[in-house]
Structure 1
């Protein structure tokens, strides 16, 4: 009689197919792109880098601003001439007193008429306390020693590096998705093998009971057959748990609901014969994301050298100002508009420029050395992955012959048991051996598929899933 968990497993596997629904590897990749939060976060960083690149482009254009200010002085600004009143008055009196009587009579009335002015405050206020300004200002950098061009180049490199980081993250997630996806398929195949073993063990147990009733075998053989059924049930339960864990891991990578259990339609596949090892090593040398990013950093370091060298050159900018409204503007500021050209040239800053240039060159040389080592390391990694795929293919082919032997062994042991020439232990061992060979074959396929995804990730190539996509 079928057990409830077998019905449940069959329902989960077939319910999606019943409604025409399944999940191919390509569809799983699409779900991952829309649901994985890590990938979305990296894409936002790439978007931010693109906006940063556009911000650097603004350095080529004039900078316009609207400025308003209010200032209150401690006291009005004025010129004080009071100290000159008494000396001037005395000098005028002495001058008139030294004139002849006719001249004194003529100028004395004039001195009388000027007398009220000497009683006044001789203070001239030329600046009130409250100053109001509203102006439009413009500044346009005409020459900055190459800083603006280098900044735009760095902005473009930053944007490209962010895009490479997005690609690297996406390919790494696809590689992880491939492992999780085909791990579910492996768990499913292992579960099917264990269920078949359980059915075989139950069938053998039923036969053993019949043979015992007919006096053909001893009761110990029936006990051995029952033990084989118990062991097979335990293996089925363990396989179901492995299936659940693998499915949970897959949903985690896709960022989907844990209850999303559509059957998977992309089967485990044997990787077709690969191209020459040198092909993949060259692809990795040119496209391995970490190497590409390191080369971009090397270009950024070169631009940084130019920026630091530009410190020896002057900065030239055109400036302009137009007062839109003002009140009590100082006499030194024109109440209209002004344009001009400014130059700034740092002649000495404690040898900072020299040391910054040396620092930038050292960074550039250091990145070059890291790139050289990374290229060597990636060659080794590609060879390791390539060799692993070839090894697993050899294992898969070798297990084909073992599978035929195991199937023949099970058939022979079943026949021998029915003729009383074999024991239940022999039959159980044969069935276990057959199950192990089947699972090893699926494991070899899984290892090939997983390693192929890793190899393509290292080469900067997209893993698409399915044998038909990799007829190299």
Structure 2
């Protein structure tokens, strides 16, 4: 019966979720990461779109048309002119001519026609002062910035996932210890009830045990609620529906020291996404300066045109454009670009200093937690040995049930503190790997750990 109940409880338990599975779930389900990936794809497509900028442009213009044109003519001056002309003739001749009919006072001329035309144009920029290269460089730098932003968002998401994942492990460990204490105190409380009836213990001891049991139950309920809330937060992070997942990768750390601090600093200065983003900003500023300078340089281009519908007429040649004057202050714009580059360089220097400091802080925190965890091992052994002595003393009559309860509470407290230190180590390690651009190696570091909080 007990085995059947145990099997049923095991099958009903939430599915185990390893750290690598949690990372995979995050990669697939994060809306923030999906948005950042879409931005990267957008910038890549934009770069592809301007890849051939500055090449030849060939266009075809075609039109079919029909028209009607009207012209109104005023004939009064012509009538007057004809009359004056006849009056100038000799009298004999003028009398022989029949009278001329008068012209209308106005007349409208109309013309209607239809036609079609087709023109082929070609323009080939030969030299644009570097404007096309600057545009391509700017687009690439924007793509690099989007990629750096994606890496930054991904590392932030993994850092938050690690916090929730191992916080769930810590909370589950604390809840299990508290529940074990409740079970032990409940057994001692029942024993003291029997001992009180036969007069072996006093009413005071019985009440102290009852108070200890109620406090243990309260602490266990609180620890269980904290564990459930942590599991819910983890489920939200990886977007798992149904019962909250049970993390299967334990809190763990290596007994050996981490690699030297300088190695992590070197990795950070080479791979931190924040520095990649600053580098992309610098490239954008440099390309903007190059584009501004290109406006003041001569531009050389070849051109050609052919009329496909009228005797195949064509024209071809080479043109040059020189900007003599416009309303922009190019010197001021050049200074602004130079200052922007100077600003980015200052931001890069500050970021490198801040990142190196963060790496050192996390490295020292991890080492301090590792040493503390190892240093707590004797206290754990001492607490366990004290519990054994109290158990033996209770059997021999040299210890009371309250002494045993205190020993159990003390051991649970020591083990909870040690689990907390292990959690602090994992969080410091996560921060260290995140600061050095290596957070994807967290699973590798945990797999190499030889000290585990099961």
- Which TM-score applies when normalising by structure 2? 0.83
Deviates more, 1:227-236 or 1:149-158: 227-236
Instruction: State the 1:92 CA deviation.
Output: 8.9
Q: 1:218 aligns with which of 202, 226, 237?
A: 202
Task: Report if the CA contact (8 A) 1:266-1:465 is conserved.
Answer: no
User: CA separation of 1:122/1:445 partners in 2, compared to 1, >3 Å: closer, same or farther?
Assistant: same
Q: 1:353 aligns with which of 323, 330, 340?
A: 330
Task: Report the 3-state secondary structure (helix = DSSP H, G, I; strand = E; otherwise coil) of the residue aligned with 2:251.
Answer: coil
1:254 aligns with: 238
Deviates more, 1:216-225 or 1:75-84: 75-84
1:233 aligns with: 217
User: CA separation of 1:341/1:456 partners in 2, compared to 1, >3 Å: closer, same or farther?
Assistant: same
1:150 aligns with: 134
2:48 aligns with: 54
2:427 aligns with: 450
Q: 1:31 aligns with which of 25, 31, 40?
A: 25
User: CA separation of 1:392/1:72 partners in 2, compared to 1, >3 Å: closer, same or farther?
Assistant: farther
Instruction: State the 1:135 CA deviation.
Output: 5.2
1:464 aligns with: 442
Task: Report the 3-state secondary structure (helix = DSSP H, G, I; strand = E; otherwise coil) of the residue aligned with 2:200.
Answer: coil
User: CA separation of 1:121/1:138 partners in 2, compared to 1, >3 Å: closer, same or farther?
Assistant: farther
User: CA separation of 1:23/1:230 partners in 2, compared to 1, >3 Å: closer, same or farther?
Assistant: same
Task: Report if the CA contact (8 A) 1:16-1:262 is conserved.
Answer: no
User: CA separation of 1:83/1:397 partners in 2, compared to 1, >3 Å: closer, same or farther?
Assistant: farther
* Cα distance in 2 for residues equivalent to 1:79 and 1:353: 54
Deviation per CA, 1:334-382, whole angstroms, max 9, x where unpaired?
A: 9865555444332112342112111111100110011111111111111
Q: 2:352 aligns with which of 364, 369, 375?
A: 375
Instruction: State the 1:53 CA deviation.
Output: 0.6
1:310 aligns with: 294
* Cα distance in 2 for residues equivalent to 1:96 and 1:49: 88
Q: How does 1:83-232 map to 2 (within 5 A)?
A: 137-232=121-216
Q: Cα RMSD between the aligned structures? A: 4.1
User: CA separation of 1:424/1:324 partners in 2, compared to 1, >3 Å: closer, same or farther?
Assistant: farther
Q: 1:265 aligns with which of 248, 256, 260?
A: 248
Task: Report if the CA contact (8 A) 1:62-1:139 is conserved.
Answer: yes
Q: 1:298 aligns with which of 266, 273, 282?
A: 282
User: CA separation of 1:440/1:33 partners in 2, compared to 1, >3 Å: closer, same or farther?
Assistant: same
User: CA separation of 1:447/1:122 partners in 2, compared to 1, >3 Å: closer, same or farther?
Assistant: same
Deviates more, 1:147-156 or 1:222-231: 222-231
* Cα distance in 1 for residues equivalent to 2:417 and 2:447: 24
* Cα distance in 1 for residues equivalent to 2:141 and 2:133: 12
Deviation per CA, 1:190-212, whole angstroms, max 9, x where unpaired?
A: 12111211111112112222332
Q: 1:395 aligns with which of 372, 378, 394?
A: 372
Deviates more, 1:132-141 or 1:307-316: 132-141
User: CA separation of 1:51/1:189 partners in 2, compared to 1, >3 Å: closer, same or farther?
Assistant: same
Matched, 1:438 2:421: no
* Cα distance in 2 for residues equivalent to 1:235 and 1:324: 92
- Which TM-score applies when normalising by structure 1? 0.80
User: CA separation of 1:154/1:13 partners in 2, compared to 1, >3 Å: closer, same or farther?
Assistant: farther
User: CA separation of 1:71/1:431 partners in 2, compared to 1, >3 Å: closer, same or farther?
Assistant: farther
Instruction: Show structure 2 runs of 5+ residues with no match.
Output: none
User: CA separation of 1:444/1:191 partners in 2, compared to 1, >3 Å: closer, same or farther?
Assistant: same
Deviates more, 1:230-239 or 1:393-402: 230-239
Deviation per CA, 1:174-223, whole angstroms, max 9, x where unpaired?
A: 12111111111111111211121111111211222233234221122122
Task: Report the 3-state secondary structure (helix = DSSP H, G, I; strand = E; otherwise coil) of the residue aligned with 2:264.
Answer: helix
Instruction: State the 1:445 CA deviation.
Output: 1.1
Instruction: State the 1:432 CA deviation.
Output: 1.7
Instruction: State the 1:415 CA deviation.
Output: 3.3
User: CA separation of 1:82/1:188 partners in 2, compared to 1, >3 Å: closer, same or farther?
Assistant: same
Task: Report if the CA contact (8 A) 1:26-1:464 is conserved.
Answer: no
Instruction: State the 1:314 CA deviation.
Output: 2.9
Instruction: State the 1:70 CA deviation.
Output: 8.9
Task: Report if the CA contact (8 A) 1:224-1:424 is conserved.
Answer: no
Task: Report if the CA contact (8 A) 1:66-1:136 is conserved.
Answer: yes
1:329 aligns with: none
User: CA separation of 1:412/1:455 partners in 2, compared to 1, >3 Å: closer, same or farther?
Assistant: same
